[in-house]
């Protein structure tokens, strides 16, 4: 007897487990950036004066003129065509969460049947994608359905290879015709500008040569691999990215034998291939290892400027999909592909770096540097304290709810882990007695400890914290694996910018009143340390004690997305975004609506998939098995055996009836709840109904499905089991 599951398992088992590694033929250093139109290549392809103009414009942060854009487009075209590129596209990040592109050929039929290859400044700078069906939160009415994409010169153009075809991709922002952002990138770029300006203003207290501050970001990406055939045989994985049922495999992660273990050869072949593809696109992938759960892995590039790091992470997700397919794998980047083992996160390692090369979150050696470090460090802590709810909202999605609301990964309570050394330092700074009248600078430091050079020590780590200081950067750990990091990074850059502006105002006020600069700085720092104490937590973030303690401290613990998103439309948030020019009220409202829609639609799809699995896949298989048991009992009776001979079979038949009845009736009840939820007009109410009324059925149904999986004949069970998904590779 064959079923879909067995053919999938068979295909997975018979894969080549010792694949040959394909060498790219050149050294990694030569491969690196070979598909990127970098500044270095612009120099080769641009006329000398155009290149000089470009560097001047970039340094001054000015807008690129049309004439210069014309030169650049010609240079880009020559470079791309020399590499066999035939098409170009604006590459953007709409609020769907995926990236979008629409390819146009360079080729253009000309007069007299002669064709030419054409790429103009206009085509480079702006496009009008026919994009009325991207999420827009009511901003784009159908009568003004045009949107436009506009070139982001701060992220270099690149060549994306799929199959045999090569496309020149130009990173762009995506706006409505009336100028509102419809993507992740536009608000991010605005927030980075705001942060740059605010941080430069504060850095100038310490060093006048600081004229630019850029944020840095290193993204650790977790994912699972599963054999492609097994993946395709599971409708839930195929359509929702996660398993909606499945009895946990007898062996899971309990032996802790996977983390940093030897990488299976077939997986390694995929990783090497992925790394080579990533290198070509200038993505500096450096680390690879096994993660905690079986078949879970992680890769991380070196940190980069934040806008570039985010583009690269989006590209990496695309590459993963493509390269995995080549190796007959599917990469699962959902936050929680399997209910009972660890989920996937995406740690965002974030800092701020000056044009003079100073990492503002790196504790220095001299008192002066200490004060600069302390200033930025404490301002970040204060910002997170003031706007914790916004950070929470910035990572809220249906998928991430499985991590944050549950007792795993960082909790839904935002707190900061500083580590013992820095925690002690802040306590000391807060309580130290500072001389009121300071004559010379050294006196100021009476009682203020010098910050010891921190050793980047892995033992002083707290994996349960959503926002941890790790030596010279903060690590925002609550970000979901499938997220576009622009959302949390826009929030973080914005709140830190706002905080630094407020800080500067307060310090300047004191200086105006005659307080010496360093003392004024210290006064405000001490005030901030006091004000933001509640957000600091060093203990176990997963514990119930912390949930209780956090409540006492007044920290929020918003477990699910629809309510976490409320903060986007509060007066405080609207003012924050509007004052700094990140997003208008209308853009904020639209974003809120899109996120709510996205939330309930995800749950709607999951509910439908559950319905299909229960009604037309599992139940029929279960009935078949149950019938064979009934036949068995009938036969035993027929040959004259008495009750005890078939007591267990009867029990089994009854037990199957109970479970199968429950999944069928609960699925029907869930459908009724869905109908009620669908009828709601208000999108927030709809999202809440899906969360509170529909979603609870998922676990009930899962429970009984898993029971059935344990008692039904393994040979008739139609869908791959978790032990197969997790261990056959």
Residues near ligand ADP (CB under 6 A) are: 216-218, 220, 300-303, 349-351, 359, 470, 472-473
Return the number of the residue (86 or 472) whose C-beta is nearest ligand ADP. 472
User: Residue 509 CB, nearest distance to Mg ion (Å)?
Assistant: 39
Look at residue 350 and give the partner it binds from ligand ADP, Mg ion, none, a contact being a CB closer than 5 to 8 Å depending on partner kind: ligand ADP
Look at residue 351 and give the partner it binds from Mg ion, ligand ADP, none, a contact being a CB closer than 5 to 8 Å depending on partner kind: ligand ADP
User: Residue 453 CB, nearest distance to ligand ADP (Å)?
Assistant: 16
User: Residue 437 CB, nearest distance to ligand ADP (Å)?
Assistant: 38
| Choices 59-67, 176-184, 345-353, 602-610 (CB under 5 A): range interacting with Mg ion | 345-353
Q: Assess contact for 276 and 24: CB atoms under 8 A.
A: yes
Return the number of the residue (351 or 370) whose C-beta is nearest ligand ADP. 351
Return the number of the residue (347 or 592) whose C-beta is nearest Mg ion. 347
DSSP-assigned letters across all residues of 660-679: HHHHHHHHHHHHHHHHHHHH
How long a stretch of residues is the chain?
729
User: Residue 721 CB, nearest distance to Mg ion (Å)?
Assistant: 32
Gyration radius of the chain's alpha carbons? 29
Return the number of the residue (495 or 550) whose C-beta is nearest ligand ADP. 495
Q: Could you identify the residue written with the tokens 């997305």? A: 561
Look at residue 217 and give the partner it binds from Mg ion, ligand ADP, none, a contact being a CB closer than 5 to 8 Å depending on partner kind: ligand ADP
| Choices 236-244, 347-355, 359-367, 567-575 (CB under 5 A): range interacting with Mg ion | 347-355
Q: What's the rounded Cα separation, in Å, for the pair 670 and 707?
A: 19
Q: Which of 507, 318, 518, 377 is nearest to 438 (CA)?
A: 518
Long-range contacts of 13-21 (CB under 8 A, 24+ apart): 13/728, 15/227, 15/266, 15/328, 16/266, 17/264, 17/265, 17/266, 18/265, 18/266, 19/265, 19/266, 19/269, 19/327, 20/269, 21/269, 21/272
Q: Which of 75, 19, 80 is nearest to 46 (CA)?
A: 75
Determine how β-strand 416-417 pairs with β-strand 467-469: parallel
The counts of H helices and E strands in the chain are 27, 18
User: Residue 380 CB, nearest distance to ligand ADP (Å)?
Assistant: 13
Residues 242-301 interacting with Mg ion (rule: CB under 5 A): none
Residues 106-145 interacting with Mg ion (rule: CB under 5 A): none
Return the number of the residue (163 or 357) whose C-beta is nearest ligand ADP. 357
Q: What's the rounded Cα separation, in Å, for the pair 590 and 586?
A: 6
Dihedral (C-alpha) 376, 382, 387, 391: value to the nearest 10 degrees?
50
Q: Does 346 bind Mg ion (CB under 5 A)?
A: no
DSSP-assigned letters across all residues of 512-577: HTT--HHHHHHHHHHHHHHHTGGGB--S-TTSHHHHHHHHHHT--B--SHHHHGGGGGSHHHHHHH
Task: Rule CB under 5 A: choose which of 347, 592, 686, 729 binds Mg ion.
Answer: 347
Return the number of the residue (492 or 595) whose C-beta is nearest ligand ADP. 492
User: Residue 199 CB, nearest distance to ligand ADP (Å)?
Assistant: 14
Look at residue 650 and give the partner it binds from Mg ion, ligand ADP, none, a contact being a CB closer than 5 to 8 Å depending on partner kind: none
User: Residue 303 CB, nearest distance to ligand ADP (Å)?
Assistant: 3
Return the number of the residue (312 or 686) whose C-beta is nearest Mg ion. 312
User: Residue 425 CB, nearest distance to ligand ADP (Å)?
Assistant: 19
| Choices 57-65, 255-263, 342-350, 526-534 (CB under 5 A): range interacting with Mg ion | 342-350
Q: Which of 250, 175, 532, 542 is nearest to 380 (CA)?
A: 532
Return the number of the residue (224 or 329) whose C-beta is nearest Mg ion. 224
Look at residue 302 and give the partner it binds from Mg ion, ligand ADP, none, a contact being a CB closer than 5 to 8 Å depending on partner kind: ligand ADP
Look at residue 229 and give the partner it binds from ligand ADP, Mg ion, none, a contact being a CB closer than 5 to 8 Å depending on partner kind: none
Return the number of the residue (359 or 423) whose C-beta is nearest ligand ADP. 359
Return the number of the residue (149 or 470) whose C-beta is nearest ligand ADP. 470
| Residues 294-333, mask of contacts with Mg ion (x by CB under 5 A) | ----------------------------------------
Q: Assess contact for 213 and 305: CB atoms under 8 A.
A: no
Distances (CA, A) of 193 to 58, 65, 498: 14, 20, 12
User: Residue 220 CB, nearest distance to Mg ion (Å)?
Assistant: 5
Return the number of the residue (127 or 348) whose C-beta is nearest Mg ion. 348
Structure tokens of 139?
């901003």
Q: How many CA atoms lie within 13 A of 517 on its CB side?
A: 11
Return the number of the residue (190 or 347) whose C-beta is nearest Mg ion. 347
Return the number of the residue (142 or 458) whose C-beta is nearest ligand ADP. 458
For the chain, the helix, strand and coil percentages under 3-state DSSP, each to the nearest 5: 50, 15, 35
Residue number of the CB atom closest to ligand ADP? 218
DSSP-assigned letters across all residues of 330-385: EEE-SS-SSTTS---BEEEEEEEEETTS-BTTS--SSHHHHHHHHHHHHHHHHHHH
User: Residue 185 CB, nearest distance to ligand ADP (Å)?
Assistant: 19
User: Residue 323 CB, nearest distance to Mg ion (Å)?
Assistant: 23
User: Residue 463 CB, nearest distance to Mg ion (Å)?
Assistant: 9
Return the number of the residue (298 or 691) whose C-beta is nearest Mg ion. 298
Look at residue 492 and give the partner it binds from Mg ion, ligand ADP, none, a contact being a CB closer than 5 to 8 Å depending on partner kind: none
Say how many C-beta atoms besides its own lie within 10 A of residue 661's C-beta.
12
Residue number of the CB atom closest to Mg ion? 347
Within the chain, what is the greatest distance between any pair of CA atoms? 108
User: Residue 421 CB, nearest distance to Mg ion (Å)?
Assistant: 18
Which H or E run contains 139?
A: none
Structure tokens of 682?
């208000």
User: Residue 461 CB, nearest distance to ligand ADP (Å)?
Assistant: 8
Q: Which of 259, 258, 289, 272 is nearest to 327 (CA)?
A: 272
Look at residue 473 and give the partner it binds from Mg ion, ligand ADP, none, a contact being a CB closer than 5 to 8 Å depending on partner kind: ligand ADP
Q: Which of 103, 102, 91, 122 is nearest to 184 (CA)?
A: 91
Look at residue 126 and give the partner it binds from Mg ion, ligand ADP, none, a contact being a CB closer than 5 to 8 Å depending on partner kind: none
Look at residue 303 and give the partner it binds from Mg ion, ligand ADP, none, a contact being a CB closer than 5 to 8 Å depending on partner kind: ligand ADP
Look at residue 537 and give the partner it binds from ligand ADP, Mg ion, none, a contact being a CB closer than 5 to 8 Å depending on partner kind: none
Structure tokens of 93?
């990040």
* Binding-site ranges for Mg ion (CB under 5 A): 347
């Amino acid at each position: 007897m064959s079923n879909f599951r067995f053919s999938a398992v068979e295909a997975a088992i018979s894969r080549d487990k010792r694949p040959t590694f394909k060498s790219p033929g050149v050294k990694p250093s030569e491969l690196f950036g070979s598909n990127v139109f970098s500044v270095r290549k612009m120099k080769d392809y641009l006329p000398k004066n155009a290149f000089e103009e470009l560097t001047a414009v970039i340094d001054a942060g000015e807008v690129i003129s049309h004439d210069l854009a014309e030169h650049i487009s010609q240079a880009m075209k020559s470079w791309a065509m020399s590499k066999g590129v035939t098409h170009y596209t604006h590459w953007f990040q709409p609020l769907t969460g995926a990236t979008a592109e629409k390819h146009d050929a360079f080729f253009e039929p000309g007069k007299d049947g002669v064709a030419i290859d054409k790429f103009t400044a206009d085509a480079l700078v702006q496009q009008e994608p026919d994009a009325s069906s991207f999420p827009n939160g009511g901003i784009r009415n159908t009568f003004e359905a045009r949107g436009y994409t506009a070139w982001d010169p701060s992220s270099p153009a690149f060549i994306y290879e799929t199959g045999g075809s090569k496309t020149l991709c130009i990173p762009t922002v995506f706006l409505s015709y009336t100028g509102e952002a419809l993507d992740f990138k536009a608000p991010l770029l605005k927030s980075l500008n705001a942060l740059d300006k605010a941080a430069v203003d504060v850095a100038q207290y310490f060093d006048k040569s600081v004229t630019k501050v850029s944020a840095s970001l290193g993204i650790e990406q977790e994912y699972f691999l599963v054999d492609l055939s097994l993946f395709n045989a599971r409708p839930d994985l195929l359509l929702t990215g996660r398993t909606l049922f499945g009895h946990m495999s007898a062996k899971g992660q309990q032996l802790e034998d996977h983390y940093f273990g030897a990488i299976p050869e077939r997986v390694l072949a995929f990783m090497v291939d992925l790394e080579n593809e990533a290198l070509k696109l200038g993505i500096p992938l450096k680390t690879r290892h096994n993660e905690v759960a079986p078949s879970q892995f992680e890769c991380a590039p070196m940190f980069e400027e934040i806008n570039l790091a985010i583009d690269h992470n989006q590209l990496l997700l695309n590459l993963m999909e493509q390269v995995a397919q080549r190796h007959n794998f599917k990469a699962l980047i959902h936050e929680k592909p399997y209910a009972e083992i660890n989920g996937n996160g995406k740690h965002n390692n974030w800092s701020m770096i000056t044009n003079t090369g100073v990492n503002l979150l790196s504790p220095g050696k001299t008192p002066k540097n200490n004060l600069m470090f302390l200033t930025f460090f404490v301002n970040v802590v204060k910002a997170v304290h003031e706007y914790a709810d916004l950070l929470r909202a910035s990572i809220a999605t249906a998928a991430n709810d499985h991590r944050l609301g549950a007792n795993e990964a960082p909790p839904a309570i935002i707190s900061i882990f500083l580590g013992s050394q820095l925690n002690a330092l802040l306590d000391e700074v807060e309580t130290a007695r500072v001389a009121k009248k300071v004559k010379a600078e050294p006196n100021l430091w009476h009682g203020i400890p010098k910050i010891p050079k921190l050793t980047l020590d892995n033992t002083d780590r707290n994996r349960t914290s959503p926002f941890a200081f790790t030596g010279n950067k903060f690590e925002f750990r609550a970000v979901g694996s499938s997220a576009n990091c622009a959302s949390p990074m826009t929030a973080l850059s914005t709140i830190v910018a706002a905080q630094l502006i407020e800080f500067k105002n307060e310090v300047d006020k004191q200086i105006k009143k005659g307080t010496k600069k360093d003392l004024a700085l210290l006064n405000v720092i001490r005030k901030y340390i006091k004000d933001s104490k509640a957000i600091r937590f060093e203990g176990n973030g997963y514990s119930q004690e912390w949930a209780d303690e956090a409540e006492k401290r007044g920290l929020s613990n918003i477990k699910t997305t629809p309510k976490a998103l409320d903060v986007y439309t509060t007066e405080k948030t609207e003012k924050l975004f509007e004052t700094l020019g990140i997003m208008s009220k209308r853009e904020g409202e639209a974003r809120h609506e899109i996120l709510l829609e996205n939330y309930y639609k995800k749950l709607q799809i999951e509910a439908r998939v559950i319905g299909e699995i229960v009604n037309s896949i599992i139940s029929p298989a279960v009935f078949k098995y149950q019938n064979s048991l009934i036949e068995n009992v009938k036969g035993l009776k027929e040959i004259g055996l008495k009750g005890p001979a078939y007591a267990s079979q009867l029990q089994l038949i009854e037990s199957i009836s109970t479970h199968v009845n429950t999944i069928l009736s609960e699925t029907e009840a869930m459908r009724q709840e869905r109908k009620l939820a669908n009828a709601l007009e208000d999108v927030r109410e709809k999202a809440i109904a899906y969360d509170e009324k529909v979603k609870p059925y998922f676990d009930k149904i899962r429970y009984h499905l898993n029971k059935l999986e344990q008692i039904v004949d393994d040979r008739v069970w139609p869908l791959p089991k978790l032990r197969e998904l997790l261990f056959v590779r």
